[in-house]
Structure formats: C-alpha cells, structure tokens
Copies of this chain bind each other. A is one copy, B any other.
Amino acid sequence: MNAFLDALRERLGEAGLLTGGDLSAYENDWRKRYVGKALAVARPASTEEVAAVMHLCHEHRVAVVPQGGNTGLVGGSTPDDSGGQLVLSLSRMKRVRGIDIANASLTAEAGCVLAEVQAAAAQAGMLFPLSLAAEGSCTLGGNLATNAGGTQVLRYGNARELCLGLEVVTATGEVWQGLSGLRKDNTGYDLRDLFIGSEGTLGIITTATMKLYPQPKERLTALAACDSLDGAVALLGLARERAGDALTGFEVMNRASLALVARELPQLAQPLGPAEWTVLLELSDAESAEHARAVFEGLLEAAVERGCVQNAAIAQNLQQARAFWHLRESIPLAQAQAGLNIKHDISLPVSAIPGFVAEMDAALAAYLPGIDVIDFGHLGDGNLHYNVQAPVGVAPAEFLAAHEVAINELVYDAVQQRGGSISAEHGIGRLKREELAQRKDPTALALMRAIKRALDPLDLLNPGRLV
C-alpha cells in the first residue's frame, strides 16, 4: 500500500492526498449511520488527475469510493471500516467551465456545489431548476451519480432529464469525453444515462453539461385544503390541464404531518388550519405577475366548484411564499425533533396513491394501534415520504428495534404489488442493497450485474453498493 500511496502523492501533490489527521468528514455520512475508515482521501484537481488515480487504483487493485458533498441518505459515499478503500473526493473540481446562453446549457465540474451552479445560471439570466434540501452542500457530480430529484421534478425532471452530456473516468482510468450540448444524438448506446444514477459503481463523473431554462417572470405559491387524497389527485389533473407546464410544484402533507409541525414548531403559522390533506402548489409563469395570479385564481375557483378543494390561500408576497414552502420543508425537521422514525421514500403511479395510502394506513393501525403516519411528498411525481412514527408514549428506539423490519415488509409489499418503487429519489447505496436484491425483477438484476462486470470487472468502483 505504501508504494500505491507514494505514487498517488507524487501524482497529486500534498494538497491532493490526505492520509492523516481527522478524516471523519469523509469517512462518516452526515446522519452518522455509517462510520468508516479510509485508506486515504484523494482530492484530484482535474479530470487528468482523476484518470491517474483510477490508473493507479487499477494497477494496485485498490477499491475506490467516489464522494461529492457526502449528503446522501443511503451510505453510498463513505468507505467501509476495512481501512482499505480510497475515498476519491471531487471537491476540488469546482469550476463552471462555461455557459452557452443561445444553447441554454451550462458545463460544470462534478465538485461544484448545487447552489453555486444555480447561482451561476442566475447570474447569466437563466434558471438551473434542480433544487433540493441539501443544495447548499451537495454537488453536481453527486446529484448525477444518484439521479437526484427534489421539488421541481414535476416540470423539469430529475437530474437525469436535466443532463445533456458527461465526461466520465472509467474503472481503468480511461476518459470518456461525452460532454455535449446536444438535444438530439442517436450515435450509439445511451452511456450518459447508464452512468447517471449508477452511484459511482460504473465510472466517475468528472464534468457535465446541463440544460438551462429561461427564468420565469413570476413564481406564485398557494396552499389548498382537500378533504381526501382523491381530491388532491383531482386537483393535480385540473392544475395540469389549466396551467400546463407552468405548474412547477405540487406537494402534499397529511393531517398528521402538519399536526406534528404544529406541536414541534409552534412558531410556524399554518394559514389554512387543519385539513385531511394540504396541498402546496407552485406556478411559474413566463408572462407576467398578473397573468400568473389570474391563472391561479381561476384554477382554485374551479377546484372549489368541483369540490376537490375546500379552502385555499395564494401567497401575497415573496415572504409569504417562502413561509408556505418552509412549512412543507419543516416536516423532516419536526420529525427529527420528535425522535427516530421509520422512513420510506416510495413512488407509485399517481392513480394508485389514494388506494395505497388508505390500505396502508389501515394496515398499520391494525398492526399497532396508535401508530402515527407522517405522509408527505411530491404527489405530482407520485413520490411519497411515507414515514412511520412511534405511538405516543413508546420510546422511538424501542419502536424501531421491535417493528422496523415488519413495517418495512408491509409497506414494500404493498408498493411492489402496485408496481411502485422502494427508492424514488434517495437511491440504494448500502442501506437498501439487500432489499433490492430481494425485490427487483430477477432479469433486471442479472442485466445490472452483467453490466457491472463488463465495465468494472475487478469490482473496484464503490464495491458493495447498489448492485
């Protein structure tokens, strides 16, 4: 190993290789679920240096754990505790290489923090729409490696749909120069989308060309109270029909979610009062503030007339809009304050969601009376964070120890029956690898393993993750 580290140090310089001191920020995930021990941390500053690292790793048979902002939720970006895995941090590759306004595209290195990419686009008068809670520290490379979702997927898609081209370093240290600003390119297999979402197990994304959009003229937010989830689904259809692509956000929160927020964060105003389901809608209008408001008012009036909405409020200014979003975003915080819970990041066809929630709420209540389901998420994408909290008076840690396995089985069985996904946006990593091996279509698993063997025969790229 010394020969390997010496060769690395020679190639990367002192700034490019960390072998001593406190490496815990690289070795542990931020939720402290995975505590690891790295052989070292390589911090290459260019694509050529990443390629050199992979050449050396291949030569010396050293496994590599690629790392971006290390904000993942499934243990995909930290080393195991063997002390034998090299962390390859992309954090020094943070240059926005260029913005092409006429082509509506931006090229940036993997280590750019998402918020910096958003800011660079905004400075050029354009919108880079990927947006999620960790945007202040997650990186573009990590967003692509995990196909990040977030709050604007309904209109703009996941990280995958926003990407035009990639530069990738392979397991053997070759560079695939696939950067491209093209909207159409039918010259062979879709390598880009194969690397996106592969969680660092097939190659290392070093740079990407991403789509930009015009900034909307106005962005308006509203809250709507619905008697039922069927009502919320009907509202979604109506909003799509009347607002088309101006509909950029459609989030739901069940009664228990907002009751939990009221309990844990009483300082937050809840403008509509309790409802079975509260919907947060966002419209982004290409035209004008007046037009946006007219569309929104027309939509909400029609929804009230049809009976799918009982009550609604449009934010009157930016501050109020932020407060509406903050209410939605504070649910995970309220959950964290209330203690451990059993989290599920599931997706279903939108049409299957009301039936799933009714059946599952009833099944959980039967399984353990008093159980609390904190159900919220991106209804427009069919993505729910269906989290289960301990009954009042039961210690959360004991609750998890006793019931997590059984509750996961209940939830995932019902998801699978309806053609849903057990990981809508968080990925697989180490956390759900076994579950995936049990539940994924066997032919799909065989294909995935064949691809992994073909592109990384020595299993050096993020071994033990995903596949």
B184, B419, B453: the one within 8 Å of A421 (CB) = B184
Task: List the B side residues contacting A161 at CB < 8 Å.
Answer: 161
Give the segment of A108-116, A330-338, A393-401, A423-431 that binds chain B.
A423-431
A199 to chain B, nearest CB (A): 9
B189 A194 Cβ-Cβ under 8 A: yes
Which of A190, A295, A423 has the most C-beta atoms of chain B within 10 angstroms of its own C-beta? A190
Which one of A128-136, A253-261, A436-444 is at the interface? A436-444
Distance between A414 CB and nearest chain B CB, rounded to angstroms: 15
A349 x B105 contact (CB < 8 A): yes
CA distance A452 to B450 in the complex (A): 10
Contacting pair B189 A198 (CB below 8 A): yes
Interface residues as binary, A400-429 with B (CB distance below 8 Å gives 1, 0 otherwise): 000000000000000000011111111110
Interface residues of A in 235-266 (CB under 8 A from B): 236-237, 240-246
B419 adjacent to A179 (CB under 8 Å):
yes
How many angstroms between the C-alpha atoms of A146 and B186 in the bound complex?
8
Within 8 A of B (CB), among A173-229: 174-191, 193-194, 196-198, 202, 214, 216
Does B351 lie within 8 Å of A187, measured CB to CB? no
Give 6 CB contacts A-B under 8 Å: A102-B350, A104-B350, A188-B428, A190-B194, A191-B448, A287-B295
Query: Which residues of A does B touch, CB under 8 Å?
Result: 100-105, 146-147, 149, 153-154, 158, 160-161, 170, 174-191, 193-194, 196-198, 202, 214, 216, 233, 236-237, 240-246, 286-287, 295, 347-352, 378, 381-383, 419-428, 432, 436, 440-441, 443-448, 450-455, 466-467
Q: Give the top 6 A-B pairs by smallest Cβ distance, nearest first.
A: A244-B286, A454-B454, A102-B351, A181-B349, A245-B245, A193-B193
